[in-house]
Amino acid sequence: MSETFTKAMARNIFYGGAVFFFLLFLGLTFDTMQQLPGRDHRENITDSVVRGKHLWETNNCIGCHTLLGEGAYFAPELGNVYARRGGPFIKAWIAAQPTGSPGRRQMPNFNLNDQQLDDLVAFFKWTGEINTAKWPPNIEG
């Protein structure tokens, strides 16, 4: 790099650029926070949804599945599982694990009671209603 472009100039671009773009990021975040209530339908977050999310977390479901595309890629996307399978199927599926078929991927049994299964379904149902800009591309997730 040329002699006219000094280290002090480079340093100023660094500090100035970092501050400017972080402030822009904060501004966009502020605007996003204003828009989110219309997109996440938070008025539908019931106690059951809250408990469902807690179960989702404390059983580390994200360690195999994706949820809205984030997580591990070992097992199916669950952001739209309510639309794909429906509540009764989801409950029966979770309760029936593991399948035990030799050589196939296995999901542990988490010993959830009926109330907890309902909570998880409520969480999946609410998640499926988030406005995700039409993602995923199709029902298979």
Partner 1 sequence: MQYQSQAVAKPYFIAAIGLFVGQIIFGLIMGYQYVVGDFLFPEIPFNVARMVHTNLLIVWLLFGFMGATHYLIPEEAETELFSPKLGLITFWVFLVAGALTIVGYLMVPYATLAAMTGNDLLPTMGREFLEQPLITKVGIVIVVLTFLFNISMTVLKGRKTSISLVLLVGLWGLAIFFLFSFYNPSNLVLDKYFWWWTVHLWVEGVWELILGAMLAFVLIKVTGVDREVIEKWLYVIIAMTLITGIIGTGHHYFWIGTPEYWQWFGSVFSALEPIPFFMMTVFAFNMVNRRRREHPNKAATLWALGTGVMAFLGAGVWGFLHTLAPVNFFTHGTQVTAAHGHMAFYGAYVMVNLAMISYAMPMLRGRTANSGAAQTLEMWSFWLMTVSIVFITLFLTAAGILQVWLQRMGDTPMGFMAAQDQIMIFYWLREITGFVFLLGLVMYIWSFFCKKGEAQTAA
**Considering only residues 95-134, where is the footprint of partner 1 by CB under 8 A?**
98, 100-108, 110, 126-127, 130-133
Interface with partner 1 includes 141 (CB under 8 A)?
yes
CB nearer partner 1, residue 68 or residue 95? 68
Given candidates 14, 83, 86, 92, which one binds partner 1 under the rule CB under 8 A?
Answer: 14
Cα 9 to chain center, whole Å?
42
- Cα separations in angstroms, 5 against 1, 2, 9, 133: 7, 6, 6, 44
DSSP letters of 88-101? HHHHHHHHH-----
Q: In angstroms, what is the minimal distance from the CB of 88 to partner 1? A: 19
Q: In angstroms, what is the minimal distance from the CB of 134 to partner 1? A: 8
Q: Which of 78, 138, 85 is nearest to 107 (CA)?
A: 78
Q: Give phi and psi for 139, each to the nearest 5.
A: -65, -20
Q: Hey, which residues between 56 and 95 contact partner 1 (CB under 8 A)?
A: 56-64, 66-77
Q: How far, in Å, CA of 97 to CA of 93, rounded? A: 7
CB nearer partner 1, residue 95 or residue 132? 132
CB nearer partner 1, residue 62 or residue 95? 62
Q: In angstroms, what is the minimal distance from the CB of 115 to partner 1? A: 15
Q: How far, in Å, CA of 32 to CA of 62, rounded? A: 25
**Site map (CB under 8 A) of partner 1, residues 27-46, x = contact:** -xx-xx--xx--xx-x--x-
